[in-house]
Chains A and B, each alone.
Chain A
Amino acid sequence: MLLGDIAHVRTGDKGDISQISVIVYDSVDYDILRERVTVGRVLAHFKNLEVRVAHRYEMNEIGALNFVLEGALKGGVTRALALDAHGKTLGAQLLDMDIGAQERV
């Protein structure tokens, strides 16, 4: 099962921080999301992304996780040399992250 099968994502930026929300379509999948989509898994998926420090916040009421990746934008939108200086395209790259078999826990 891929992350995109159970969740949608949105990416934002604030200075040198990339922020990616991961939101389940159906609340029954929130426990799977919470157990399997850890900071470690996300950073491992972004093999070529340098991150200074990463946080994960849980939004139980709406069934979402909020990933905050500090230092991910090489100085932020106003000075980064990157083609996508905002890092807007990062979140979509999580959608094909393998999150294991489909059984619900």
Chain B
Amino acid sequence: MIATNSIRIGAGAGFAGDRIEPAIELVEQGNLDFLVFECLAERTIALAQAAMLAEPDKGYDPLLLERMRRVAPLAQQRGVRIITNAGAANPLGAAQAVAKLAREQGLAPLRIAAVLGDDVLSLVQDSNYPLVDRDGTCRDLPNTLSANAYLGAGPIAQALSQGADIVITGRVGDPALFIGPMLHAFGWSLDDADMIGRATVIGHLLECAGQLCGGYFADEGRKSVPDLARLGFPLAEIAADGTALLTKVSGSGGRISLATCKEQLLYEILDPKAYYQADVIADFSTVRFEERGVDHVAVSGGSGREPSGLLKVSIGYDDGFIGEGQIAYAGPGAVARARIATDVVRERLAIIGAPVCDVTAEIIGVDAIDRTGTGGTPREVRARVVGRAATRAAAEQIGAEVEALYTNGPFGGGGVTRSVRKIVAVASTLIPAKLAQPRIILVEA
């Protein structure tokens, strides 16, 4: 714990492939204490686990070292400590790789903490824990690849208190990446549910980085965002009472407004009075925003109840293959010819007895994503056929039948694309929180 009145935390990445320049801008001009990189999507760990089978020293976010190469020296110069979940399936391997890089860059001494303990595969695999939002239990999932519990902020705060300059985790709740440094700086107790609820609000607002600054917001008319190509990432100046001022580096692109903050507050929230996290059940219904000037929004309110005692676990499993083919049509009658094309492909797959299932056909431009049933008659469309298969070879047959439309289908098709994707799907379960045992390993550079 470092007794202090306020801290500044920047959000340096909102997804694994996020831009690196905004993080550099934050470190150089944001007067930060902490910088967070949120880099794990739902199935990233399962994919990383698969990568580790081939190369045991991998299994962490492939962009991690590039981020660190460009950001860590600047962060060290300015005393900014970094927290990231980019450890994915191998936080310790990630910490060792970052330490090696730091030595090469002349940054030693540098202390890197790996937070372990989210991997609960051995507990969950073939268990009777019921799946969330679908029938069955964990043992019903074929070929389970990974199972990772969403850990809380405690181990991150602990790693910081042990002097870590960089903290690398696997799966933790995204807000926990931000709550960790708040716990560390302010000495809050995890038992103070209201305070942890407010910290969760702040973490949640920051975790998607650019989205708070007008990313994913712009629309014609009332939702203009200046200089979107130079979108800045957000930072919060957080006070010891759990209130914060949200802003970004002066001169960066984007906009932080009441509207961007409100959109981000509810983003991926179900019941706003019950946002389940490892450390708290947060209530967002009492959150207030107040504009304090251009790109300056104050946030206050929010509360919490004690956590459920259960941890969410994401389970990655092998779900076979998805095969897909697309072909374009234009001019008068384009939609009708696209319908003929999809009908032919469906019938062909039946005639040749392709071992595929859930075959779906749609017309991009009419009904592929529109769900209102009001699509018109565009002059150009793409016919799309997609389905599942147990093997790559079977999945290939869908695209092959679409490609065959070139010489065997209706008039005027062009621009065929075909693909086969191996699918790592994700299911969820809940386990008693006490079964996950977080631990910290320090690696010195």
Q: Which A residues are within 8 Å of any B CB, using their own CB?
A: 8, 10, 12-17, 19, 21, 23, 25, 45-49, 55, 57, 59-64, 66, 68, 70, 75-79, 81-84, 89-90, 93
* A59 contacts B371, C-beta separation under 8 Å: no
Which chain B residue lies CB-closest to A13?
B268
Stretch of B51-59, B191-199, B233-241, B424-432 contacting A (4+ beta carbons < 8 Å): B424-432
A45–B374 CA distance with the chains assembled, in angstroms: 10
Q: Which residue of B267, B301, B358, B372 contacts A21 across the interface (Cβ within 8 Å)?
A: B267
Chain A neighbourhood of B216, CB < 8 A: 10
Question: Per a CB cutoff under 8 Å, which of A16, A55, A64, A89 touches B369?
Answer: A89
Interface string of B352-368 (1 = CB under 8 A from A): 00000010101010011
> How many Å from the CB of A32 to the closest CB on chain B?
17
Can you list 16 pairs linking A and B with CB atoms under 8 Å apart?
A12-B267, A21-B269, A23-B263, A47-B372, A47-B373, A59-B284, A60-B285, A61-B285, A62-B289, A66-B272, A76-B426, A78-B319, A79-B319, A79-B423, A81-B358, A83-B369
Give Cα distance in the complex from A104 to B202, angstroms: 34
Q: Is the CB of B288 within 8 A of A78?
A: no
Min CB distance, B338 to chain A, in Å?
A: 14
B133 an interface residue at 8 Å Cβ cutoff? Answer: yes
Of B93-101, B146-154, B384-392, the segment with at least 4 beta carbons within 8 Å of chain A is: B384-392
Quick check: B423 and A78 within 8 Å, CB to CB? yes
Q: List residues of chain A with CB within 8 A of the CB of B322.
A: 81
Note all chain A residues with C-beta closer than 8 A to B266: 10, 12, 19, 21, 23, 59, 64, 66
Q: Which of B202-224 contact A (CB under 8 A)?
A: 216-217, 219, 222-223
Residues from chain A with a CB closer than 8 A to the CB of B43 are 78
A83 to B361, CA, bound (A): 11
Q: How far is the CA of A78 from the CA of B328 in the complex (A)?
A: 26
Given A45-B372, A57-B272, A79-B319, A64–B425 Cβ distance below 8 Å? Answer: no
Q: List chain B positions with a Cβ less than 8 A from chain A.
A: 42-43, 132-134, 216-217, 219, 222-223, 259, 262-273, 284-289, 301, 319, 322, 358, 360, 362, 364, 367-373, 384, 386-388, 423-426, 428
Quick check: B269 and A19 within 8 Å, CB to CB? yes
**Chain A facing B: main interface SS:** loop
Contact indicator B268/A12 (Cβ below 8 Å)? yes
Q: Which of B133, B262, B271, B360 contacts A15 (CB 8 A)?
A: B133
- Which residues from B are CB-within-8-Å of A82? 360, 368-369
In the complex, A13 Cα to B4 Cα: how many Å?
A: 37
Write out the residue numbers on chain B whose beta carbons fall within 8 Å of the beta carbon of A63: 262
| Alpha-carbon gap, A57 to B216, bound state (A) | 23
Contact across chains for B272 and A81 when beta carbons are under 8 A apart:
no
A78 & B425 in contact (Cβ 8 Å cutoff):
yes
Q: Given the complex of chains A and B, what is the CA–CA distance between A97 and B236 in angstroms?
A: 36
A29 nearest CB across to chain B (Å): 13
User: Which B residues are CB-close (under 8 A) to A84?
Assistant: 368-369
Query: Which residues on the B side are within 8 Å of A10 (C-beta)?
Result: 216-217, 263-264, 266-267
Residue of A47, A57, A64, A89 with most partner-chain B CB within 10 A: A57
Q: How far is the CA of A78 from the CA of B320 in the complex (A)?
A: 12
Q: Which residues of B contact A15 (CB under 8 A)?
A: 132-133, 426, 428
For residue A94, which residue of chain B has the nearest CB? B372
Asked whether, in the complex, the Cβ of B132 is within 8 Å of the Cβ of A48, the reply is no
Instruction: Quote the shortest CB–CB distance from B204 to chain A (angstroms).
Output: 11
Q: Do residues B263 and A90 form an inter-chain contact, with CB atoms below 8 A?
A: no
B259, B269, B301, B364: the one contacting A61 at CB < 8 Å is: B301
Contacts of A59 in B (CB 8 A): 266, 272, 284-285
Taking the closest CB of chain B, its distance from the CB of A94, in whole angstroms, is 9
CA distance A14 to B314 in the complex (A): 12
A23 and B384 CA atoms in complex are apart in Å by: 34
Residues of A within 8 A of B386 (CB): 81
Contacting residues, chain A, for B373 (C-beta < 8 A):
47-48
Closest to B222 in A: A25
In the complex, the chain B residue whose C-beta lies closest to that of A11 is B267
Residues of B within 8 A of A16 (CB): 133-134
Q: Which residues of A contact B425 (CB under 8 A)?
A: 75-76, 78-79
CB distance from A54 to the nearest CB of B (A): 12
The residue in chain B whose Cβ has the minimal distance to the Cβ of A22 is B266
Distance between Cα atoms of A14 and B426 in the complex (Å): 11
Partner of B42, one of A77, A81, A89: A77
